[in-house]
Amino acid sequence: MSASSDKRRRGDLNLFVLALIANGVTTPYELKTAAVLSPGATIPALARLLKDGFVIQSKPSPRGRADHRITTEGRHYIRGGWKELSRAE
């Protein structure tokens, strides 16, 4: 697999995870159950989205659960990303 293909797949996953968060699927466990995404895929995607400022994370609860919320920048990223994916097909 080429590096550019891998980056595109990561971008697709980021968009998918961000869209799920925008629709109320806010924890890694919910991503696992609602979208059948593995923690090995979702945890790095969430870290990238946090780093890029597309989501914010709540303070973890005593059990370690942390919710994620989409930011304004994240909403802009979704709009631009879906347009980009439409053009690529």
Q: CB of 45 within 8 A of CB of 55?
A: no
Q: Domains in the chain: how many in total? A: 1
Which range of residues forms the domain containing residue 84?
Answer: 3-88
The Cα 40–Cα 64 span in angstroms is 17
Percent of the chain's residues with pLDDT above 90: 61
Entry pTM? 0.78
pLDDT at 88 over 60: no
Tokens 């961000």 appear where?
A: 18
In this structure, the number of other CB atoms found within 10 A of the CB of residue 24 comes to 9
28-56 pLDDT tens trace: 899 999 999 998 999 999 999 999 999 99
The Cα 19–Cα 34 span in angstroms is 12
51 Cα distance to chain centroid: 11
Domain holding 36: CATH number? Answer: 1.10.10.10
